[in-house]
Amino acid sequence: MTSKMREALLNFNRQVPRYTSYPTAPHFSASVTPDTYTSWLMDLKDGASLSLYVHIPYCRQICWYCGCFTKATRQYAPVTSYVDTLIEEMQLVRERLSGGQSVGHIHFGGGSPSMLSPEDFTRIMTTVRQLYVPEQDAEIAVELDPREVTEAKVAAYAKAGVTRVSLGVQDFHDHVQKAIGRRQPFHVIYDTVQLLKAYGIEDINMDLLYGLPHQTTADVQENVDFAAALGPSRIALFGYAHVPWMKKHMRLIDEDALPNGDVRLTQFEVAAKRLKARGYQAIGLDHFVRPTDTMAVALADGTLKRNFQGYTTDKADALIGFGVSAISALPQGYVQNTLVAADYEAAVAGNIAPVIKGRELTNEDRIRRAAIEELMCYFELDLELFTASHGKPRDYLDDVLPALYELAADGLITLKGRHITVPEQARQAVRLACAAFDAYLQPDTARHAQVA
């Protein structure tokens, strides 16, 4: 990154969304109701492809850096009860579908899906196969906390057909782990990787964080080396988002120990360079994959997508979320389940979809979403061709140009005519370019993660 780019990126280091959806979740409202969701489900056509997301909102303890919707429990009884309700919700949704849809992706997120006992994980997957129609080559992915993994659980994953797991690593160094409330010795991660491979689960992702308290640039570089040595097919390199106004447990982190924006940029640059040297290919804003990985193939053939799980090869027509706080994305719009466990259980018991809010898409929303997704995935967009492909006049998105001109003047993007390109060495600027297309973003009131 040139010194001019660095200075400009730090000057623009404001809070903007990560754009895993558009419109973004802060713009959901209660105008989307359980009845709305029911009608949207009933409108899904036979032959449509589905992606299922299963949210497990429990962990043994809350890590201080965590931005997920979860709660800590030392007792397992609440998890079993939750699974009972989860299965009922799957039945409830199935009753509103015609049954002619197939499932190409199943993703367990959290929280910690590794909290599930082998029996409960098997119960969920058995229900999915009984109620829905998973495709023969469906990807079944599970997010795991290595500290919770046992051989019995891995055996259950393998038997259920799990094809990919994502390991929450974050950092390998004890002094950083202590500062974020997550002690996790290297041997725990190593043993988990070997166990997964022994049961035939070879597609392994690892999540790393930079910008953590007391974390140095040398630490980040070593994290990449340690992770790459374990041979994952994908490594996600996320910048820690310190949002204590949203997640109170983040107040346990010493803010004075957090690296500033300039150091964070250096950490990312060093890690990205190291990953490239290790044979990984950059995908989008924060993913690095082996050249043979399906995500690299999707980038090459123009089918890479972005959804609530981040970058994905999932081309489903609809994403259906199950569980507390889960978000669904259907052709008509987004819906989110209630965040209150008691309300979730009561709604499902009453045969009512546990929806609390959502967003119905307008045609303009869909067009702006497509532009944002193309930028997030491919770092370029030809506005001339894009507006024409959507049957719109040349000046349809001219309102985005002032913000883009400003970014171009500082070298964060190039703008040749109406062709936008985000340079690889300043990839963090892509969120700023996307923000130009966001008709709802109010910079003075937005509370998101910073750019750098």
The Cβ of residue 423 has, within 10 Å, a number of other Cβ atoms equal to: 16
The Cβ of residue 192 has, within 10 Å, a number of other Cβ atoms equal to: 24
> Which strand (E) or helix (H) includes residue 39?
helix 34-42
Tokens read off for 398: 């001219």
pLDDT the model gives residue 444: 54
CA dihedral 432, 217, 142, 306 (to 10 degrees): 20
Sign of CA dihedral 217, 222, 225, 226: negative
The DSSP secondary structure of 186-216, one letter per residue, reads: HHHHHHHHHHHHHTT--EEEEEEEES-TT--
Spatial CB neighbours of 300, under 8 Å, sequence gap ≥ 6:
none
Region of residue 240 (left: phi > 0; alpha: psi -120 to 50; beta: else):
beta
**pTM (two decimals):** 0.94
Interior angle at CA 146, CA 72 and CA 21, nearest 5:
70
Q: Tens of pLDDT along the chain (452 residues)?
A: 788 888 888 888 777 889 999 999 999 999 999 999 999 999 999 999 999 999 999 998 888 888 888 888 989 999 999 999 999 999 999 999 999 999 999 999 999 999 999 999 999 999 999 999 999 999 999 999 999 999 999 999 999 999 999 999 999 999 999 999 999 999 999 999 999 999 999 999 999 999 999 999 999 999 999 999 999 999 999 999 888 888 899 899 999 999 999 999 999 999 999 999 999 999 999 999 999 999 999 999 999 999 988 999 999 999 999 999 999 999 999 999 999 999 999 999 999 999 999 999 999 999 999 999 999 999 999 999 999 999 999 999 999 999 999 999 999 999 999 999 999 989 999 999 999 999 999 865 545 556 66
Q: Would you say domain 1-22+362-452 falls under CATH 1.10.1280.10?
A: no
pLDDT the model gives residue 245: 85
The closest alpha carbon to 24, from 443, 450, 439, 451, belongs to 439
Sign of CA dihedral 23, 29, 35, 38: positive
Alpha-carbon gap, residue 3 to 9, rounded angstroms: 10
pLDDT the model gives residue 450: 62
pLDDT the model gives residue 199: 98
Q: Are strands 281-283 and 134-144 parallel, antiparallel or unpaired?
A: unpaired
The residue written with tokens 């009884």 in the block is 77
pLDDT the model gives residue 22: 95
| 406 phi, psi to nearest 5 deg | -65, -45
- Do 324 and 57 meet the contact criterion of CB atoms below 8 Å apart? yes
pLDDT the model gives residue 342: 95
pLDDT the model gives residue 65: 86
Alpha-carbon gap, residue 383 to 131, rounded angstroms: 43
Alpha-carbon gap, residue 433 to 423, rounded angstroms: 12
Q: Which fold has domain 23-322?
A: TIM Barrel (3.20.20)
Domain boundaries, the chain: 1-22+362-452, 23-322
Interior angle at CA 440, CA 320 and CA 381, nearest 5:
80
pLDDT the model gives residue 236: 97
The DSSP secondary structure of 301-357, one letter per residue, reads: HT--EEETTEEE----SEEEEESTT-EEEETTEEEEE-S-HHHHHHHHHTT---EEE
- Do 197 and 205 meet the contact criterion of CB atoms below 8 Å apart? no
